Amino acid sequence: MNRFLAILLLASSVMASAVWAGPAAALLGTPFAHDGLFANASMGLGYASFENVDGEESLSARGFGMKLHGKLGFYFIQNLALHANMDYVMYSNFREARYGLPVYMDHDFYVLSSVFVGAGITYYVPEWNNMFFSGSLGVTGYRLNCRRYYGNTGLRAFAFDVEMGKEWWVNEHLALGVSLAFNSGDYWSEDDGVFRSSSMMLMFSVSLN
């Protein structure tokens, strides 16, 4: 279900970016400006890490990761957008350990992913040729399917997401961009121990302004 929600928001952002550019011009505001409706869909690759420590046992995943991210909102003043966020992160290099020593490596039967849901702002610096800064706060949930743990943790981890990048106009309201994004989440469960995650991704995006 978490994966479905992430894909749904991402698809909604892509559809808004691709379809609304013509018919919804009235909502988009001034051409080549940051006002009116704001929608952004991005995909990226990079480094992602996850750790769950419960007493003497631990689960971890550190290495290559992939991220999908969607933002949907509006500019409440020019160059400053308020938006909802959702992203989905996939992890790799799954490991299980006891007292810090590897005891099990499952390459064939595991699922490890996270979903972030939150709200944030994006600011385009007027003098910096479409350079932007974005930040959001929210909650993250994890899904694991392995020998020791199966299921969803729920949206329990406090998390934040920050991003900086640059965009280039391709028409009056549509822009393509590249950015660097960092995400981090952390929570403690009395039953399942500490869950924490982080990611650093190079993102490629399409935005509707």
CATH topology of domain 2-208: Porin (2.40.160)
The CA distance from 109 to 53, in Å, is 20
Q: Which residue has the tokens 């990226």?
A: 44
Give per-10-residue mean pLDDT for the chain (209 aa). 54 54 60 91 96 82 93 95 96 80 59 90 93 96 76 84 97 95 90 88 96
pLDDT at 3: 56
- HSE at residue 57, side-chain half, CA atoms within 13 A, is 11
Phi, psi dihedral angles at 55 (to 5 degrees)? 65, -125
Q: Which residues are CB-neighbours of 83 under 8 A, at least 6 positions away? A: 38, 40, 71, 72, 73, 74, 119, 120, 121, 122, 136
* Residues whose CB is less than 8 angstroms from the CB of residue 87 and which lie 6 or more positions away in sequence, other chains included: 6, 67, 68, 69, 70, 115, 116, 161, 183
pLDDT of residue 182: 97
CA distance 152 to 113: 10
Distance between CA atoms of residues 194 and 33, nearest Å: 44
The DSSP letter of residue 130 is S
**Of the candidates 129, 24, 13, 34, which has an alpha carbon nearest to the alpha carbon of residue 81?**
34
Is this model's pTM higher than 0.85 or not? no
